[in-house]
Amino acid sequence: MKEVIIPQLIKKKSSIAVITPAGRVEKGQLDKSLEIISSKGYNPILGPHVYSQYTQGYDYGGTVQERLSDLQWALDGDFDAIWTTRGGYGCAQLLPYINLEKFRKKVKYLIGYSDATVLQSFLLKQGFASIHGQSIKTASFGVSEETYNLLFDILEGEIPQYTLENNGFNKKGKAKAPLIGGNLAMIYSIMGSPYSYDFKNKILFIEDISEQFYALDRMLMNLELNGVFRKIKGLIVGGMTRMGNQETNKNYTQAFDPLAYEIIDQKLSAYDFPVIYGMPNGHIFDNQPLIIGRQVEIIVKDTAQIIFK
């Protein structure tokens, strides 16, 4: 992996480009978060197609050309950060066309999660860190005020450290390596492509939402068959939310589904690396940000620590 470039800190009155590279958003859905950004002293600037819509079996935030145009506008522009409005699906359609020539002259954090995972993988393959954290649209499960505060802390230069209570699925140990990962379905979707993460000697983070349990197993099998679990030095598991069938799963609304955790634990039984379960990041109310590409140390004892370097 190339040496990772950490974007420069941002200052008050900095401009933040707001884009919709995947699923569509409607007017009014961003207002609350945009007000928070402004109240913190920053200037959110909406992309020309942020509220566009294109339907082809799915409601995209515009055509491929419109969404790519806004992404390239944000990458090229004199902005201090890029913040995605939501996930959904669509970012993978943009990957072959992204140009980073101007971005290299002014590197900035891209913030998002869920479908934005594929953009973060793309950026890291080119040597740039990003933030796997809350997007601007507030989902049905809401978002905590602390979530936004932690994001601004990172933008302003504070390095996050997390201490989590013991989880019964945790595997003790310690490891230090660059952090990769994000939404498991997105990692799975680009596996084997030129845009996939390089897993060797990394710490992997995964989270997901609304997947049937057999689909979770299928994605984990894909990682196993590709040798991912033989390559990584550690694993952090975040939210596994609304997993399984709503009609039959009594834990359907839980943020950290216990059956999903059991399935992951079984898949990892043959491997000897530290694992942290219950990281509050993903499709959950308290979506605490992680820095993709940054060196991180995980220490799993009676408690679990995640310490960025």
CA distances to 11, 41, 231, 241 from 121, in Å: 26, 30, 17, 22
Active site residue 114: yes
Residue 262: count other Cβ atoms within 10 Å of its Cβ.
12
Radius of gyration of the chain (CA): 18
Contact between 55 and 8 (Cβ < 8 Å) = no
Contact between 34 and 159 (Cβ < 8 Å) = no
Treating both helix axes as pointing N-terminal to C-terminal, what angle do 213-225 and 258-267 enclose, rounded to 10 degrees?
Answer: 20
Listed residue (282, 305, 309) closest to 170, CA to CA: 305
Per DSSP, the three-state class of 209 is strand
Q: Which of 121, 135, 211, 283 is catalytic?
A: 283
How many helices (DSSP H) and strands (DSSP E) are in the chain? 8, 15
Listed residue (191, 256, 194) closest to 222, CA to CA: 191
Active site residue 135: no
**For the chain, first and last CA: distance in Å?**
17
Q: Which of 130, 132, 207, 211 is catalytic?
A: 207
Q: Parallel, antiparallel, or unpaired: how do β-strands 15-19 and 81-84 relate?
A: parallel
Active site residue 132: no
CA distances to 2, 116, 181 from 275, in Å: 26, 24, 14
Backbone angles phi, psi at 292, to 5 degrees: -75, 125
Q: Which of 33, 52, 69, 114 is catalytic?
A: 114
Catalytically active residues, by annotation: 114, 207, 283
